[in-house]
Structure 1
Amino acid sequence: MSESNSRTAEELTEIMEARIQTVERTFKNLSSQIVSGMEDMETRIDDLEKNVADLMTQAGMEEQQTGSNSHMNPSQYC
């Protein structure tokens, strides 16, 4: 290889290595954001499930206290 071809190959290698590092950093950042978003969603879903369970319990207690058999049966939603 001539000296200019060798220099061009080295420059191309450096450019590609820099580009790969940039892509790796971007991928890592995006992956972290996705995982963080999934963890937030998991927390929200857990909170929602707890709230629904609490509401179902309250509805069941109200039915027992009034002694009425309304059309709402909390067990049908499980």
Structure 2
Amino acid sequence: MQDGHDADDPKQSTADMTIFVQNLLQQMQSRFQTMSESIISKIDEMGNRIDELEQSINELRAEMGQEGSPSPSAPLKTKEDPKAADDSA
């Protein structure tokens, strides 16, 4: 009878090991899925922030263009500046 019992132990041990490995793989897959979703979420958030930053920069450029265009004195100063005249020559 002991021989029959010994024959079942390796089978039971193999089954237990298989279940253990399957559970471990499922846990790993779940963790990787969670990390993947988190990374994708962060990338989407960064993309949105970059889009907002780009829009803000474009708005600032537009404002500076509107403010800078009516001022004719700025180009005159560069012509009167001796350093500017030396650079252009």
TM-score range with shorter-chain normalisation? 0.7 to 0.9
Distance in 2 (alpha carbons) for counterparts of 1:60 and 1:23: 55
Matched, 1:61 2:71: no
Matched, 1:48 2:48: no
Structure 1: 5+ residue stretches without partners: 72-78
Q: Which amino acid aligns with 1:57?
A: A
Q: Which amino acid aligns with 2:53?
A: L
Q: How many residues matched?
A: 71
The structure with the largest helix share of the pair is 2
Structure 2: 5+ residue stretches without partners: 1-5, 79-89
Give the equivalent residue in structure 2 for 1:3.
8
Give the equivalent residue in structure 2 for 1:19.
24
Distance in 2 (alpha carbons) for counterparts of 1:18 and 1:62: 66
Deviation (angstroms), 1:65: 2.0
TM-score by length of 1: 0.83
Q: Secondary structure at the match of 2:55?
A: helix
Identity rate, percent: 21
Could you list the runs of 4 or more consecutive aligned residues of structure 1 that deviate by over 2 angstroms after TM superposition? 67-71
- Higher RCO (C-alpha under 8 Å, 6+ residues apart): 1
